Chain A
Amino acid sequence: AQTVTQSQPEMSVQEAETVTLSCTYDTSESDYYLFWYKQPPSRQMILVIRQEAYKQQNATENRFSVNFQKAAKSFSLKISDSQLGDAAMYFCAYRRSSGNTPLVFGKGTRLSVIA
Chain B
Amino acid sequence: SAVISQKPSRDICQRGTSLTIQCQVDSQVTMMFWYRQQPGQSLTLIATANQGSEATYESGFVIDKFPISRPNLTFSTLTVSNMSPEDSSIYLCSVGQSFQETQYFGPGTRLLVL
A–B pairs, 11, beta carbons within 8 Å: A43-B37, A43-B90, A43-B107, A43-B108, A50-B102, A97-B101, A103-B33, A103-B45, A103-B103, A107-B41, A108-B42
1/0 per position for A98-114, CB-CB distance to B under 8 A?
A: 01101101111000000
Contacts of A107 in B (CB 8 A): 41-42
Residues of chain A within 8 A (CB-CB) of B73 are: none
The answer, among B41, B44, B97, B108, for a CB contact under 8 Å with A44, is B108
Interface contacts beyond A47-B104, A50-B101: sample of 12 additional A-B pairs, CB < 8 Å, sorted by A: A33-B102, A42-B107, A43-B107, A44-B105, A47-B102, A91-B42, A100-B30, A100-B98, A102-B103, A103-B94, A103-B103, A105-B43
Take A50-B101, A103-B103, A107-B42 as given contacts and tell me if A45 and B48 are in contact as well, using a CB distance cutoff of 8 Å.
no
Which A residues between 67 and 91 are near B, CB-CB below 8 angstroms?
91
A binding-site residues for B, Cβ under 8 Å: 33, 35, 37, 42-45, 47, 50, 52, 91, 95, 97, 99-100, 102-103, 105-108
Interface of A is mostly: loop
Q: Could you tell me which B residues sit within 8 Å of A by CB distance?
A: 1, 30-31, 33, 37, 41-45, 48, 90, 92, 94, 96-98, 101-105, 107-108, 110
Question: With contacts A35-B102, A47-B102, A100-B31 known, is A105 near B108, CB below 8 A?
Answer: no
Contact between chains at A33 and B101 (CB < 8 Å): yes
Closest chain B residue, CB of each to CB of A110: B40
A44: chain B residues at CB < 8 Å are: 105, 107-108
Q: Considering the chains assembled together, what is the distance between the CA atoms of A50 and B43 in angstroms?
A: 18
Residues of A within 8 A of B37 (CB): 43
* B92 neighbours in A (Cβ, 8 Å): 45
A108 to B37, CA, bound (A): 12
